[in-house]
Chain A
């Protein structure tokens, strides 16, 4: 657009000769064509569906579903609507994804660090774990946990039990459910106060250390506060919590909380599989920190644990977070394999049963795809923010 060396020619450049404006025009044209094409495809599809007598629209979301769902985190009965089945499925997907992300992260970090251990046996065991679980297809691993492990458990009557309170059988893991009584709020209040106090303490300690070089064992003090304060209040307020112990009766246990075997199998498989990838990411992240850094830390007489925590991991995190994000995204999307073993996730409940009972494939599949897309975008956004923060800390 600008030609600084020569004076502008007489008059104005016509816009079709101006490359920038021309590019803009072509892009606008292309966008218009794209929208026109999409619009045409949508209207054509609607026409065709109509001509074939296939019902369309989202009205079905208000109709009664009429089928049962075995696990729901929100109120659900067969008299609820199809819209509700969407929410139930979504919550179940979120539940297994969140559990999976947590467990995979813990397993992955432990195994990744273990792989670098100077202890020959630990390093080899961690290596074997990574190579085995990373190289077997996830679906097979889900089948393994579900059919080969959990299917061989005894019937409810012959349950394995832990202190007659926790039971494991082919119908799942039954654990006592906590029942809160009045006064438990104070324990929760104490917990919140302890957490806030711990944060304040850690900040203050850091500032003090920067200023004076002295430091308190803030980590231990905080841990003590977070555990101790609520415990003290709990006991002082007369332990306002009872347990609903599962009892065998009729066909199965009643009372307590039942963790479905489908959930257990999916959770195990997802965390162990994804954990093996995370272990490699963590290992490579740590190895990416040059050994000079470790040596320098040692020369400053930092202990092994402090070197890892204060020098190596903060730098390794910058390398670890981007690929870690992809693993989280994979885990969420992989949770849709739930349908293979009948865990009632979004794909199984909504894109499965609801789709089939209503026949509204296009609407249902679009809603399901949108959910996974939005979930993935949210996770990426969060991880990008986290990454930016970690990068700043480096200075």
Chain B
């Protein structure tokens, strides 16, 4: 009996050790191989934020973050639809990526030093330049953040929002009452019901959340922007091949806009004999190879998903209910800061 016990113990211990050994450090190529074998990119998105990632009435995910995932699938498989979406709230997202549950996190996530350097994760670029703001009810009669001394703020737990809020109020020597919820539904619900006076989040998200309110015209976003929130896709640290593939997917979208390549004219442009465009289309050189991608990876992204401008307009810009201006998200050639290294 005793002997038996010892045996089972040793067996389970070995099994456990084996699993932990197998879950060794991330290696270059590991993620790409797993993705190809699975036939799908598993992409972490929000639980529902119009314009960034939210399911439509048919349950199809749409938004700018979602299109980044489609872009990665187009680059890897030549088929933008090969994505599986995993909705995550702010608290769950990094663990989901660290543990390998998802391949990419594309969920309005702010690039900060702590997240980039201590979590074993890498940000691959910036898909949207944002900043934190405040949403208040018109009836509150407030038109500047400086009038919010002593107010209650609904804020989502595990976000940079929580930290900026404390910084701002300390810097301005004002007091605040944080009312912290886990999910965005609860955060918005608390604001609507009057549990707090102010809803605070990234400004673009406030615009998105405002249109979800039962009375969108009864609320307004205050003019103050209190932080820098560069949002971008994130991957696990240590797998450089996958890091490159995700990073260059976004760069390809931005480059395409700069070169005037769109989902509509991509096939025509493929016939172009301009060297830059030929390189982009994969007709000259093979820039996908080292990333484990086919030569026409960039062409697939643009023809199936569109360039950065198209993606922006369709989801958050003029062609969407959010109607956010390009502002600093315009290309560097148009006075914005979106700038991608060249494909050569």
Contact surface of A with B, Cβ cutoff 8 Å: 23, 26-27, 29-30, 33-34, 37, 40-41, 44-45, 48-49, 51-55, 66-70, 78-79, 147, 151, 155, 170-171, 250-252, 254, 261, 339-342, 344, 348, 352-353, 355-359, 361
- Whether B24 sits at the interface, judged by CB under 8 Å, is yes
Q: Smallest CB-CB separation from B159: which chain A residue?
A: A356
Contact: A37 with B13, CB < 8 Å? yes
Apart from A68-B176, A70-B180, A344-B180, what are 14 other A-B pairs with CB-CB below 8 Å? A37-B13, A48-B25, A55-B118, A55-B119, A66-B163, A67-B178, A68-B166, A78-B170, A250-B150, A251-B152, A342-B186, A356-B91, A358-B118, A361-B95
Between A and B, 5 residue pairs with Cβ closer than 8 Å are: A30-B5, A67-B162, A344-B180, A348-B157, A356-B158
Contact: A51 with B2, CB < 8 Å? no
* Complex CA–CA separation, A348 to B238 (angstroms): 31
Ranked nearest first, the 8 interchain pairs of A and B with the lowest CB-CB distance are: A51-B25, A356-B158, A78-B166, A54-B120, A37-B13, A55-B118, A52-B120, A53-B120
Contact: A171 with B152, CB < 8 Å? yes
Contact: A45 with B20, CB < 8 Å? yes
Contact: B6 with A26, CB < 8 Å? yes
* Complex CA–CA separation, A27 to B5 (angstroms): 10
Q: Smallest CB-CB separation from A342: which chain B residue?
A: B181
* Complex CA–CA separation, A261 to B195 (angstroms): 9
* Complex CA–CA separation, A55 to B113 (angstroms): 13
Q: Smallest CB-CB separation from B13: which chain A residue?
A: A37
Tell me the smallest distance from the CB of A147 to a CB of chain B, in Å.
8
Tell me the smallest distance from the CB of A300 to a CB of chain B, in Å.
55
Contact: A170 with B91, CB < 8 Å? no
* Complex CA–CA separation, A45 to B98 (angstroms): 13
Contact: B177 with A70, CB < 8 Å? yes
Choose from A37, A171, A353 the contact partner of B162 (Cβ within 8 Å): A353
* Complex CA–CA separation, A170 to B152 (angstroms): 12
Residues of A near B177 (CB, < 8 A) are: 68, 70, 252
Residues of B near A23 (CB, < 8 A) are: 2
Q: Smallest CB-CB separation from A23: which chain B residue?
A: B2
Residues of B near A147 (CB, < 8 A) are: 189
Encoded as 1 (CB less than 8 Å from any A CB) or 0, chain B from 156 to 193 comes to 01100011011101100000111111100010011001
Contact: A357 with B163, CB < 8 Å? yes
Q: Quick one: given A68-B176, A342-B179, A342-B180, are A54 and B10 in contact (CB under 8 Å)?
A: no
Q: Smallest CB-CB separation from A152: which chain B residue?
A: B193
Contact: A52 with B182, CB < 8 Å? no
- Whether B114 sits at the interface, judged by CB under 8 Å, is yes
Q: Smallest CB-CB separation from A151: which chain B residue?
A: B193
Tell me the smallest distance from the CB of A24 to a CB of chain B, in Å.
10
Q: Quick one: given A356-B91, A356-B158, A357-B114, are A52 and B98 in contact (CB under 8 Å)?
A: yes
Q: Quick one: given A51-B24, A251-B150, are A26 and B2 in contact (CB under 8 Å)?
A: yes
Residues of B near A26 (CB, < 8 A) are: 2-3, 6
Contact: A70 with B13, CB < 8 Å? no
Q: Quick one: given A251-B151, A342-B179, are A48 and B23 in contact (CB under 8 Å)?
A: yes
Q: Smallest CB-CB separation from A55: which chain B residue?
A: B118
Residues of A near B181 (CB, < 8 A) are: 342
Residues of A near B218 (CB, < 8 A) are: none
Contact: A67 with B163, CB < 8 Å? yes
Contact: B2 with A70, CB < 8 Å? no
* Complex CA–CA separation, A342 to B23 (angstroms): 34
Choose from B21, B23, B26, B194 the contact partner of A170 (Cβ within 8 Å): B194
Q: Smallest CB-CB separation from A249: which chain B residue?
A: B150
Contact: B178 with A69, CB < 8 Å? yes
Choose from A33, A54, A251 the contact partner of B9 (Cβ within 8 Å): A33
- Whether B17 sits at the interface, judged by CB under 8 Å, is yes
Tell me the smallest distance from the CB of A94 to a CB of chain B, in Å.
19
Tell me the smallest distance from the CB of B304 to a CB of chain A, in Å.
33
Q: Quick one: given A359-B114, A359-B115, are A27 and B2 in contact (CB under 8 Å)?
A: yes
Q: For chain B residues 109-123, which have a beta carbon within 8 Å of chain A?
A: 114-115, 117-120
Encoded as 1 (CB less than 8 Å from any A CB) or 0, chain B from 2 to 36 comes to 11011001100100110011011110000000000
Q: For chain B residues 86-127, which have a beta carbon within 8 Å of chain A?
A: 90-91, 94-95, 98, 114-115, 117-120
* Complex CA–CA separation, A29 to B2 (angstroms): 11
Q: Quick one: given A48-B24, A361-B95, are A251 and B197 in contact (CB under 8 Å)?
A: yes
Question: Which of A34, A52, A151, A361 neighbours the largest number of chain B CB atoms within 10 Å of its CB?
Answer: A52
Residues of B near A68 (CB, < 8 A) are: 162, 165-166, 169, 176-178
Q: Smallest CB-CB separation from A71: which chain B residue?
A: B177
* Complex CA–CA separation, A45 to B178 (angstroms): 36
